[in-house]
Structure 1
């Protein structure tokens, strides 16, 4: 069933995402599984969703109260990952082999905590349920939990451990001194790190300015930069490209430049916290210098980024999504590479970036569509035709702030 599913992989961040992916998975089965499920639905009169919910509920109940909860838990956590691991070893796929190596490391770590399972279950019988749920989250292709766990939990720890003490001090000084603008100090929670406290004080300026914030999203080559240039020319907005901010950070040769460059060369998504901090600093500097609003290009890539931005800065007033056919996107990126010579625009990297974006973008687009803030535009026409559509909607947004 998992192998036959056509549902896109990607991080699942909210209950709504879980329900959406769950339903999509059940309706995008392999041909063999689809036949079996259709027969089951016809003969029983019960929908596949209700069948699935029932099986999950019974399994959860047994994991909590069944006499062989330990065995059932390990069976669920073992069969599919073992099958996929053997397949990847046979295919000699280094990237995916590393993913499954990390999974088995985490699974093995659980065997140490299994020793305390009886004690935990005497207090609250949830140990096997929690272990099973977490492992399923790690190995399901729809959640891509192992890679998400690596990027959000392990990568920052490893990066910190790899820095020498002097380099850590340099990173601290870089964050504090990146902006020469003086911001009036406010009381900050003593539990907040000095770096985050400094950024938090700066972003207050953005909130108080009450200026429009517009996200511009779309795959590489969708024409975001071209359209942003025209929007800047007409409306006087500040254009912030997350790609440019990251490349500038790499070129600064700071403490995290090497790790960022490696991620960008591999076509991987940069951790959300780094991107958000760079954005907040750039926005605070621009606001103090008189910015009349922001076009944030290439952001957010994941729902978690959008949620963090809304919590720590403000909600976007509009999200413009430029879309185009894959072939058009690839050709545009390759043509740009010939002109720009950017280190992250090689043929292999472009293909990986397009794939990475495709996986991550579907949930982001749906997230803002449900909020009623999404403007979806096909960008395969001329620059002028596409901008004419943009103007129609952006005029209304800008007029709310400027009268």
Structure 2
């Protein structure tokens, strides 16, 4: 039964990708197990390679840097990118300062892109990067409570780096959009009235405390001047 399930999945995958004629009533008879598994793997990798190549050619800082490296070395940018990904992955797994590298990757480019978005007239990029930083803060809060447990996971910084890259990747289904729409936004819409009330009360209390502290400071300064 297990093999039949896998065979059915493989068959549907091949049919969906036009690798097998949809007119075939028994497509598994056309392919042996040793044939369709490599075919699935090849098509799966080709799909993600095409997506990566498209992302690497998107206008921006990364595209500019890769274009210069490609021009000077004569090596295609996808191979340069894959080589860099491999080196960074190894370092995030075994290297010293993996936490700093991971957080830098999740901060430097998004910060640069956010400044560009602020200076541009487009609203779409503002929304994109506001969403990213909202998700970034959300993940940072979660990480604070789970850091002790997750730090023992040897691939933790590599996994976090992959998650952050997915969150700012120039694709329509990037991580920040997925996490925001599926986790953050539904809860905000459900509790936004209560949250506004709590935030408003907290802001008023903070303003009162600041005013009281300012009055106390001014009185202390006046008393000190009188004593002099």
Q: Is the 8 A contact 2:66 2:77 kept in 1?
A: no
- Structure 2 SS opposite 1:142: coil
SS at match of 1:110: helix
Indicate how the Cα distance of structure 1 residues 116 and 65 shifts in structure 2: closer, same or farther if over 3 A, else same.
farther
In the alignment, the residues of structure 2 paired with residue 56 and residue 33 of structure 1 have an alpha-carbon distance, to the nearest angstrom, of 13
**What's the TM-score, normalizing by structure 2?**
0.51
**Superimposed CA distance per residue, residues 29-80 of structure 1 (whole angstroms, 9 cap, x where no aligned partner):** 7577435303212xxxx54333322211111111122110011011111111
Instruction: Give the drift of 1:90.
Output: 2.4
Tell me if structure 2 keeps the 8 A contact 1:81–1:100.
Answer: yes
User: What SS class does the counterpart of residue 170 from structure 2 fall into?
Assistant: coil
Q: State yes or no: 1:88 paired with 2:117.
A: yes
- Work out the CA distance in 2 between the residues paired with 1:67 and 1:118: 18
Aligned residue runs from structure 1 range 340-351, under 5 A: none
Q: Map 1:64-143; keep pairs closer than 5 Å.
A: 64-91=93-120, 93-112=122-141, 113-114=143-144, 116-117=146-147, 119-122=149-152, 124-143=153-172
Q: Which runs of 4+ in 1 moved over 6 A?
A: none
CA, structure 1 residues 158+16, in 2 after alignment: closer, same or farther (shift >3 Å)?
Answer: farther
- The residue that corresponds to 1:53 in the other structure is 82
Measured on the aligned residues, the alpha-carbon RMSD in Å equals 3.2
How many residues in Structure 1 have an aligned counterpart in Structure 2?
145
Residues 39 and 28 of structure 1: CA distance in aligned 2, closer, same or farther (over 3 Å): farther
Equivalent of 1:21, from 26, 51, 55?
Answer: 51
1:161/1:137 Cα in 2 relative to 1: closer, same or farther (>3 Å)? Answer: same
- Find the aligned partners of 1:16 and 1:68 in 2 and give their Cα distance: 34
Once the two structures are superposed, the pairs formed by residues 4-403 of structure 1 within 5 Å of their partners are 17-26=47-56, 33-41=66-74, 46-91=75-120, 93-112=122-141, 113-114=143-144, 116-117=146-147, 119-122=149-152, 124-145=153-174, 146-161=176-191
Gap runs ≥5 in structure 2: 1-43, 194-228
Query: By percentage of residues, which structure has more strand?
Result: 1
What is the CA–CA distance in structure 2 between the aligned matches of 1:131 and 1:35, rounded to whole Å? 29
> Matches of 1:32 and 1:54 in 2, distance apart?
14
Q: Flag the structure with larger Rg.
A: 2
Query: Structure 1 residues 95 and 53 mapped into 2: Cα distance closer, same or farther (>3 Å)?
Result: closer
Distance 1:18 1:159, change over 3 A: farther
For 2:45 and 2:186, the matched residues in 1 are separated by 26
The structural deviation recorded for 1:111 is 3.2
Higher relative contact order (CA 8 A, sep 6+): 1
* C-alpha distance in structure 2 between counterparts of 1:119 and 1:105, whole Å: 24
